[in-house]
Amino acid sequence: MALTGNEVAKHNSNESCWVIVHGKAYDVTEFMPEHPGGMTIILKWAGKDSTDTYEPIHPPDTLDKYLDESKHLGEVDISTVMKEKKEINPDEAERLDRIERMPILEQCYNLMDFEEVAKSVMKETAWAYYSSAADDEITLRENHSAFHKIWFRPQILVDVEKVDDSTTMLGTKVDIPFYVTATALGKLDHPEGEVVLTRAAKKHNVIQMIPTLGSCSFDEVVNAAEGNQVQRLQLYVNKDRAITKQIIEHAERRGCKGLFITVDAPQLGRREKDMRNKFKEAGSNSFIDPSLSLKDILWFQSVTNMPIILNGVQRVEDVIRAAEAGIQGVVLSNHGGRQLDFARSGIEVLAEVMPVLHERGWQDRIEVYIDGGVRRATDIIKALCLGAKGVSIGRPFVYAMSSYGLPGVNRAMQLLKDEMEMSMRLIGCSSVDQLNPSLVDARGLFNHSITPSDSLGLSVYEPLVSPKQRAKL
Ligand code: HEM
Ligand SMILES: Cc1cc2nc3c(=O)[nH]c(=O)nc-3n(C[C@H](O)[C@H](O)[C@H](O)COP(=O)(O)O)c2cc1C
């Protein structure tokens, strides 16, 4: 017999906590302290129907994957469940008004335009989650501004009538040297989530990296791929290696062509904009294994034939260790500034890494990618000049998706292709293999004398004052 709303409502505390999701009740009392989104949010919904809040954050297979079957309590007679009064947010009417008046897609001429539109039309929670970064968000901003420390030295009188922007990434031919990186929770502000990125990646013949923590399940994203479209899996390594093994084997069976292991997140960074918005506790994401170390790499190599790429490498010593361990690729990345604040930009680390690989003659032994702050095709070209095989792009495609759906992501990718063709001509190269360090002046890259401003510090700082004139007696 179905449970009633009253029965579920009694379990509304730390001692006994049940929640309803899609008409079924779940006992989350023991799971709560382990919950990656923290306990507070679950307690807020204890004894109630949490479907509307739960839905965009969790892929459909979450309950089967993370909550023991014994805690699945069965059907609830929804007609007996008290409807929660929706809190009316006074800002929401203004947002809806902004959506009515948002620029048409054709008014977006570059990736930053999508970010500007997204900021004004996205739901507050989604904007806070996507745009936030760690601590003072210095690295977030450095990621982008680091590209501005590199200038071009174009060559002239080269035949650039035909320009070919295509390249290969671990053997896969792609139209342009970027791929769509993993960004979790794609349904926060688009009902379809990650599959939209899949379709755009197909149209533009670029690779998509599927996040472990997507809003769509892994299978939904793979099912959305067409023909011989190439996807790779981003993996957060679970403490329970049996679960990790299952995920990897399943991905390989489903045709994934590479395994990106994220190595920069033994604990999730403090993203305060997001925390403030959700009143969420920071802290470790308990199912990501903080004990992950180089010795585990052998194990990964023993359980998969997919090429392995370490995602989130931040110094040359670790690139060398990865190459020695037989890893096929690294992504020089700081997780879009969301982990360690004051981590250096990917482009700066690249300039440290490539000369050392060349010294050893190892430049072809391991493929090197970067991400963070890539917003223009000139950023891509700068990275390739310094020796990267390609770059990945995160937020801009999510902003384009949230604001304009699939047409938005398609336009964002097309704009990059157009910019790329033009910039290649202007720098004097007709194919990406001609890009080389002599085409850039990167001397300023290691200069940290100007850092993005510490806005919190500045807003609370009370400037010193000089002595004042004494009052006339
Ligand atoms: C019923 C069993 C539940 C399971 C098995 C579960 C599982 C998970 C998992 C695996 C994540 C990780 C996703 C991520 O960090 O990106 C997560 C995050 C989260 N969950 Fe749940 N969850 C459950 C219930 C709930 C409920 C009832 C709510 C609230 C209605 C909730 C709200 C959240 C939030 C806010 C996050 C954090 C997303 C972020 O990173 O900002 N969860 N949950
Ligand atoms: C909203 C958001 C979610 C992310 N989720 C993940 C994730 O689940 N796994 C991961 O390895 N990296 C994740 N990242 C990091 C990205 O893969 C990538 O490093 C970053 O977005 C690149 O910077 P960009 O956004 O400036 O392009 C996320 C980044 C953002 C912005």
Would you give the DSSP letter of residue 25? Answer: E
Per-residue pLDDT band at 275 (split at 50, 70, 90): confident
> Rounded distance, CA 207 to CA 55, Å?
27
User: What CA–CA distances, in Å, run from 358 to 148, 214, 330, 394, 433?
Assistant: 25, 37, 16, 29, 16
Does ligand 2 have an atom closer than 6 angstroms to the CB of 143?
yes
pLDDT, tens digit, for every residue of 165-195?
999 999 999 999 999 999 989 898 999 999 9
Q: Is 423 in the pocket of ligand 2 (CB under 6 A)?
A: no
Q: Has 236 been annotated as catalytic? A: yes
> How confident is the model over 306-316, as pLDDT tens digits?
999 999 999 99
The confidence band for 240, taking pLDDT boundaries of 50, 70 and 90, is confident
Whether 284 shows a pLDDT value over 70: the answer reads no
Higher pLDDT pick, 35 / 328: 328
CB distance 54 to ligand 1 below 6 Å: yes
Query: From ligand 2's centre to the CA of 256, what distance in Å?
Result: 19
389: number of Cβ within 10 Å:
19
pLDDT score at 276? 83
Distance 11 CA to ligand 2 centre (A): 36
The superfamily CATH assigns to domain 5-80 is Cytochrome b5-like heme/steroid binding domain (3.10.120.10)
Amino acid code (one letter) for 342:
F
pLDDT in tens, 326-348: 999 999 999 999 999 999 999 99
Distance CA 335, CA 141 (A): 13
Burial 29-62 (b: 16+ CB within 10 A, else e): bebbeebbebbebbbebbbbbbeebbebbbbeee
Q: Please calculate the CA angle 14-56-141 and round it to the nearest 5 degrees.
A: 100
3-state secondary structure (DSSP) of residue 173: strand
Quickly state the pLDDT bin for 29 (edges 50, 70, 90).
Answer: very high
Task: For residue 27, indicate whether it is catalytic.
Answer: no
Sequence ranges of the domains in the chain = 5-80, 113-446
For the chain, the C-alpha Rg in angstroms (whole number) is 24
pLDDT reading at 374 higher than 90? yes
Q: Which of 236, 369, 399, 404 is catalytic?
A: 236
pLDDT interval class at 35 (50, 70, 90): confident
Q: Could you confirm whether 335 is annotated as catalytic? A: yes
- pLDDT tens digit string along 396-443? 999 999 999 999 999 999 999 999 999 999 999 999 999 999 999 999
Which range, of 8-22, 221-235, 273-287, averages the lowest pLDDT?
273-287
CATH topology identical between 5-80 and 113-446: no
Q: Give the per-residue pLDDT at 280.
A: 56
What was the pLDDT predicted at 100? 94
Give the mutation target among 395, 399, 413 for probing the ligand 2 site: most ligand atoms within 8 A of CB: 395
Given a cut of 60, is residue 16 above it in pLDDT?
yes
Q: What is the distance in A from the centroid of ligand 1 to the CA of 30?
A: 14
> Residue 91: its pLDDT value, please?
84
Across 220-231, average pLDDT:
96
What's the pLDDT score for residue 286?
61
Q: Residue 51 corresponds to which tokens in the numbers above?
A: 């479907």
The token pair that represents 178 in the structure block: 């970027």
Task: DSSP letter for 84, please.
Answer: P
* Neighbour count for residue 166 (Cβ, 10 Å): 12
Assign 370 a pLDDT band (cuts: 50, 70, 90).
very high
Query: Which position has the token pair 């360090």?
Result: 437
| Residue 15 Cα to ligand 2 middle (Å) | 36
Query: 113-446, which class in CATH?
Result: alpha beta
Measured at the alpha carbon of residue 469, what is the angle toward residues 466 and 471, in degrees to the nearest 5? 140
Better-scored residue on pLDDT, 432 or 239: 432
